[in-house]
Amino acid sequence: MICVPGRMGKGGKSGSELIELYYSSLPPSINALWKRTRSGMRRSDAYVAWLALAAMETRQQKPGCIVGPYCLSVQLARPDKRKRDLDNFSFKAINDLLVQQGVVADDSLCEMLSSRWVTTGEGVAVRVSKAGVDA
């Protein structure tokens, strides 16, 4: 799917300035996205499974798309009390998903990243905004 200005999202909006998405589970750690095989690297089973679930959740939310440069903000609910590196969970898999689902055209257009752990709720809240627009 490709992000194009005429693509309609929730409420009939196209070329949105702000998109908020919610996912039921954290993506795999960046350390678990890829698996080495005899013929090279491939996506891990956990990554493929998360992408499939998150893709379904994205489609259900009918997000529309951000055209051009964008900013990405991610809030992740801590699943337990173990020490975890925040940056291992928040950017690569989510940006790949946003491109795959046509929410953004290319993750190279991301101009700002922010993430944080939250202590309430479950899963992941993602906010994608057009770069240069204060939301």
- What is the domain count for the chain? 1
Domain-located, residue 10: no
CATH number of the domain within which 51 lies: 3.30.1330.70
Residues 19 and 64 sit within 8 Å (Cβ to Cβ) = yes
Q: The tokens 């939250």 sit on which residue? A: 118
Q: Which domain holds residue 111?
A: 17-130
Tokens (6 digits) for 127: 């906010």
Domain-located, residue 23: yes
Give the pLDDT confidence of 30-44 residue by residue, as tens digits.
Answer: 888 889 889 999 999
**d(C-alpha 110, C-alpha 117), whole Å:** 21
* 73 Cβ contact partners less than 8 Å away, ≥ 6 residues apart: 113, 114, 115, 126, 127, 128, 129
Q: The tokens 């964008």 sit on which residue? A: 70
Domain-located, residue 4: no
**Single pTM value for the model:** 0.85
- pLDDT at residue number 12: 45
Domain-located, residue 59: yes
Checking if the pLDDT of 126 tops 90, the result is: yes
Domain-located, residue 74: yes
Give the pLDDT confidence of 11-60 residue by residue, as tens digits.
Answer: 445 568 999 999 999 999 888 888 988 999 999 999 999 999 999 999 99
Strands 124-130 and 18-23: antiparallel
Q: How many residues make up the chain in this entry?
A: 135
Checking if the pLDDT of 3 tops 70, the result is: no
Strand ranges inside 61-109, DSSP E: 70-77
